[in-house]
Amino acid sequence: MKEHSLTLGEELRRQGISRRSFLKFCAGVASSMAIPATMVPAMAASLAQARRQSVIWMSYQECTACIESLTRAFSPTVENLIFNFISLDFQHALQAAAGDQAVEALRNAMDENWGKYLVLVDGSIPLKDDGIYSTSHGQTHLESLREVAEGAAAIVSIGTCAAYGGVGAARPNPTGAVGVEDIITDKPILNVPGCPPIPEVMTGVLTSFLAFGELPAVDRLKRPSAFFSDTIHDRCYRRPFYDQGKFAKSFDDEGARKGWCLFEVGCKGPITHNACATMKFNQGVSWPIQSGHGCLGCSEPNFWDKDSFYKPLSAGQWGSAEGIAIAAAAGVALGAASAVMSRKNQDKISGGK
Amino acid sequence: MTLLDFARGPAMQIAIFIFVLGIFWRLVGVWALRQKKDLSEPRQKGAWIGGIKGLYAHAWPYKPFVPYVGAQYIVGYVIHLGLFIVLFFGTPHMLFFADIVGFTWWTLPGGVITFVALVTTVALFIALTKRLVNPVQRLISNFDDYATWFVTTLPFVTGLATTANLWPHYETGLAIHLLSVWLLLIYFPFGKLMHSFWFVVSRYTTGSRFARRGGMA
């Protein structure tokens, strides 16, 4: 696992992986990231010369679904990813070591690869009360992130919690949770949001970093554009039903059984950027909308607090009806006052006649 | 908070607050005015029938005037019917109202709504062109006329642009569309858009007063 001296090509040959398989893998990644086919040979050559990348995965205020999702990646497989492509030097859910030994492994990896290692983060980071609400090995995650980030070449925030705070930052946000980019501002950061993120997006980003030595192009929310440029709605297989005006009114009506659009039952697909509709989950088996549930918008910031998941997107966020009642009462009062003034004016003009 | 969050939340609440306040202000303010007494003897009984007639008597121009103003009426009908259809039979719009009234109703396919919105927008531009080209209309037009046209047309333009995905980001387009509608709501009570409340009242009043004096609406 610590064999950093071999190039990736040498390592793959040592393990008996053919060039054909390697090129197929490169073509698959290039395709998923919208890299032109003409770039595949160059990408393969660059990848073959790459040294094994030291990767440190820090898990903070999280639920482990992100790593669960990653271990279900199918192309490349997680085995390929971990054992052939990268040196995953620290990941507390997957590694055998625990306690002091695990922390020692982390320190060693940081020392040996200072300034070169890639940091992957899942989970939000509490800021309130100096971050005491989430700690590991006697260190707050706020301190831990700052320490690990200092020697990182780049940081990839895996999942919506690490990217934007996610569920940890949902109102009332008792721990003052935030995403990585709210704390670390002097390192290249890429967000792979989702609850959980699509595994192929995570592996695609890592592969791209290995091949080109830098993070891929990102959108305004620092998400890789190749995967997040389209909305769910743009690519949804139920989109024709939206255009035809055919909507499921509930989750068990005739429209739902016929697979009609889920807009009316709260689907957030039109405002959610992600690749679920094309890449799906569990080796391309399905994704939430295919399973009959509307998109929750989990790859967007603050998706927990954007009103009900089951309220149509075009419905307003009313707050309370008190404001409308106050407006009506104030309007009546103003109207009455205006009329009184007008009547006085009338009397003045007519002399009371 | 994103622009869309702002548009769906605080901006909507502020716009509706101003809309409701303004509507009640105008309605109560006018209805609480002292009414002018008609001291003349009624020329005929049942002036209210004249009032009812007055509601539809002006729905189409008097025959001799049709060649001159008929097209103007047609454009007006296209605008009003288009507004009605898009507002109440576009699915996203229906769902906005359904959230308030608690029930849904039948809607038209998106393509039909887009077509109707396009036709309505064209009609709105024809109406503006006529107002600008016709010297008499231009002379009697004031800021309110142009502002009313602007706040009415803007939601159509932004809505069509959003449907066609012409914005860099769909959610930004949606937010701009919503904000354009809130602008319409805010302006509504204080300009000529109030005619949607007043036209029934004023036509009935005119019709019934004419009838009382022996005339026709």
DSSP A65-84: HHHHHHTT-BTTBHHIIIII
Retrieve residue A253's tokens.
Answer: 């009506």
State the pTM of this model: 0.77
Question: In which band, very low, low, confident or very high, does the pLDDT at B178 lie, cut at 50, 70 and 90?
Answer: very high
As to burial, measured by CB atoms within 10 angstroms (0-12 exposed, 13-18 middle, 19+ buried), residue B32 is: middle
Q: How far apart are CA A200 and CA A22, in angstroms?
A: 17
DSSP A41: H
Q: Are the C-beta atoms of A44 and A23 separated by less than 8 Å? A: yes
CB contact under 8 A, B104 and A306: no
Closest CA to B92 of A271, A296, A313, A309: A313
Q: Which residues of A touch B (CB under 8 A)?
A: 231, 233-234, 242-245, 247, 249, 263-264, 270-271, 301-302, 306-307, 311-319, 323-324, 326-328, 330-332, 334-336, 338-340, 342-343, 346
Q: Is A213 left (phi over 0), alpha (psi -120 to 50) or beta?
A: left
Total structural domains within chain B = 1
Domain extent, residue B148, equals 142-217
How much is the ipTM here? Answer: 0.81
pLDDT, mean over chain B: 91
Q: How far apart are CA A194 and CA A162, in angstroms?
A: 10
Tell me whether residue B161 is in a domain: yes
Tell me whether residue B189 is in a domain: yes
Distance from the Cα of A95 to chain B's closest Cα (Å) equals 39
User: What pLDDT is recorded for position A1?
Assistant: 41
- Of residues A231, A317, A339, nearest to B28 (C-beta): A339
Measured CA distances, A224 to A70, A157, A195, A269 (Å): 17, 11, 16, 18
pLDDT in tens, B25-81: 999 999 888 877 778 888 888 788 888 998 888 888 888 999 988 999 999 999 999
Measured CA distances, B157 to B125, B147, B171, B195 (Å): 11, 15, 16, 23
Instruction: Read off the amino acid at residue B25.
Output: W
Tell me whether residue B172 is in a domain: yes
Q: How far apart are CA A246 and CA B203, in angstroms?
A: 40
Closest CA to A83 of A55, A106, A64: A55
- Of residues B2, B25, B174, nearest to A335 (C-beta): B25
pLDDT in tens, B164-176: 878 877 888 999 9
CB contact under 8 A, B107 and A263: no
Q: What is the gyration radius of the CA atoms in chain B, in angstroms? A: 20
Tell me whether residue B203 is in a domain: yes
pLDDT in tens, B179-215: 999 999 999 999 999 999 999 999 999 898 888 888 7
Tell me whether residue B194 is in a domain: yes
DSSP H stretches of helix in A213-321: 225-228, 232-235, 239-244, 254-257, 276-279
DSSP B34: P
A177-178/A117-122 β-pairing: unpaired
Closest CA to B182 of A316, A240, A198: A316
Q: How far apart are CA A63 and CA A168, in angstroms?
A: 10
Positions of chain A with pLDDT under 70:
1-5, 73-85, 319-320, 352-353
User: What pLDDT is recorded for position A283?
Assistant: 78
Tell me whether residue B212 is in a domain: yes
Retrieve residue A191's tokens.
Answer: 């967000």
DSSP A155: E
Tell me whether residue B198 is in a domain: yes
User: What pLDDT is recorded for position A210?
Assistant: 80
Establish if B87 touches chain A: CB-CB under 8 angstroms: no
CB contact under 8 A, A316 and B20: no
A135-136/A139-140 β-pairing: antiparallel
